[in-house]
């Protein structure tokens, strides 16, 4: 389990990933440089972007500004993604060149397939391009996003390199617990997108009740819950004070009862109810340690 904001989780290819990150979807390119710089200077070390977000240039400038201000490139973990209309072996190789150029960095830490394709073999062809990018060293780790069990199995069975990460929506109201379990058992780290339910968690009464005990906001409780499940949350905010709030997670601990209550919020999901029993093992001695 993460003990502080600089802790990292191991990936299945020997690299490590920060335990919490900063999302950039919806941040316009013109604002990205300043917001990303601010986020890194406030302690974020993972920045999540995508060609689809149309802000890679601004994100790259923000990262370079932080490096110029003294943060080591090695400490910053940069994620980008190939979009739906860039899928296929050659198309992906070209899409990567465009993202690489826009970001303007020496390497990208993690490159993801943003969404699975429904076309036969297109995920595999795209994956082959990602494997070669990893071989080239311009991408350190490769992974997927929004892949279900079947789509992951196809890659696991037919490819040379396993995905290191599956980026999925994960928050107490949408735990994706079954898929998270599958990823965990295959040594694939889950990055949790929309960890605040795109802002909705702040209205959740159970989160507010637990938060009151620790003088924490519902958003902080949701993020702590993710971290305690070894999911890497990537909250997005355009506000400096929320950037700080969303990192103030390491001066309190959720109890087993808190986790049981939080795991029960997603009533749609059988596995999340089952998690009540499994939870202790996951919280005490991180499952990845």
Identified binder of ligand NAP from the candidate list 4, 153, 238, 268, rule CB under 6 A: 238
Identified binder of ligand NAP from the candidate list 23, 62, 116, 143, rule CB under 6 A: 23
- If one asks whether residue 239 binds ligand NAP (CB under 6 A), the answer comes out as yes
User: Which candidate in 15, 44, 53, 215 is catalytic?
Assistant: 53
Write out the binding residues for ligand NAP, residues 130-159 only, by CB under 6 A: 145-146
Which residues, including other chains, have CB under 8 Å from residue 140's CB and lie 6 or more apart?
13, 15, 107, 108, 109, 110, 134
Report the C-alpha gap between 99 and 102 in whole angstroms: 5
Determine whether 53 is an active site residue. Answer: yes
Dig out the tokens for 139 from the structure.
Answer: 């991408």
- If one asks whether residue 31 binds ligand NAP (CB under 6 A), the answer comes out as no
Pairing of strands 16-18, 77-82: unpaired
Residue indicated by tokens 């940069």: 78
E-assigned strand segments in 71-148: 77-82, 108-113, 139-145
What letter does residue 250 receive in the DSSP assignment? S
Cβ proximity of 190 and 283 under 8 Å: no
Torsion over CA: 224, 227, 231, 233 (sign): positive
Counting every residue, how long is the chain? 289
SS3 142: strand
Question: Residue 80 forms beta bridges with which residues?
Answer: 111
Q: Which of 200/274 has CB closer to ligand NAP?
A: 200
Write out the binding residues for ligand NAP, residues 176-195 only, by CB under 6 A: 193-195
Q: Which of 247/270 has CB closer to ligand NAP?
A: 247
Q: Which of 27/90 has CB closer to ligand NAP?
A: 27
x/- mask, ligand NAP, residues 44-83, rule CB under 6 A, reads ----x-----------------------------------
Identified binder of ligand NAP from the candidate list 196, 207, 259, 262, rule CB under 6 A: 196
What is the number of alpha carbons within 13 Å of residue 128 lying toward its C-beta? 9
- If one asks whether residue 24 binds ligand NAP (CB under 6 A), the answer comes out as yes
Q: Which of 177/219 has CB closer to ligand NAP?
A: 219
- If one asks whether residue 39 binds ligand NAP (CB under 6 A), the answer comes out as no
- If one asks whether residue 202 binds ligand NAP (CB under 6 A), the answer comes out as yes
x/- mask, ligand NAP, residues 259-288, rule CB under 6 A, reads ------------------------------
Report the C-alpha gap between 236 and 258 in whole angstroms: 24
Active site (catalytic) residues: 53
Site residues (vs ligand NAP, CB under 6 A): 23-26, 48, 114, 145-146, 167, 193-199, 202, 217, 219, 234-239, 242, 245-246
């Amino acid at each position: 389990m993460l003990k502080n904001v600089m802790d990292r989780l191991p990936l299945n290819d020997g690299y490590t990933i920060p335990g919490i990150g900063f999302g950039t979807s919806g941040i316009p390119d013109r604002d990205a440089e300043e917001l990303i710089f601010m986020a890194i200077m406030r302690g974020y070390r993972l920045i999540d972007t995508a060609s689809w977000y149309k802000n890679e240039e601004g994100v790259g400038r923000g990262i370079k500004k932080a490096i110029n201000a003294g943060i080591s490139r090695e400490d910053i973990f940069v994620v980008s993604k190939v979009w739906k209309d860039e899928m296929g072996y050659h198309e992906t190789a070209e899409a990567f060149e465009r993202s690489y150029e826009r970001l303007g960095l020496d390497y990208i830490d993690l490159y993801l397939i943003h969404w699975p394709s429904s076309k036969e073999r297109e995920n595999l062809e795209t994956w082959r391009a990602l494997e070669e990018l990893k071989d080239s060293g311009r991408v350190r780790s490769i992974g997927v996003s929004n892949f279900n069990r079947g789509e992951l199995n196809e890659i696991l069975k037919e490819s040379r390199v396993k995905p290191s990460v599956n980026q999925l929506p994960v928050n107490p109201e949408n735990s994706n617990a079954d898929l998270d379990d599958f990823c965990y058992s295959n040594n694939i780290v889950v990055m949790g997108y929309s960890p605040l339910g795109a802002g909705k968690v702040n209205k959740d009464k159970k989160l507010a009740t637990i938060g009151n005990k620790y003088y924490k906001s519902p958003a902080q409780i949701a993020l702590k819950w993710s971290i305690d499940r070894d999911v890497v949350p990537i909250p997005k905010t355009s506000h400096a004070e929320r950037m700080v709030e969303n990192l103030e997670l390491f001066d309190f601990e959720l109890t087993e009862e808190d986790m049981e209550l939080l795991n029960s919020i997603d009533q749609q999901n059988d596995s999340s109810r089952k998690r009540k029993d499994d939870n202790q093992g996951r919280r005490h001695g991180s499952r990845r340690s």
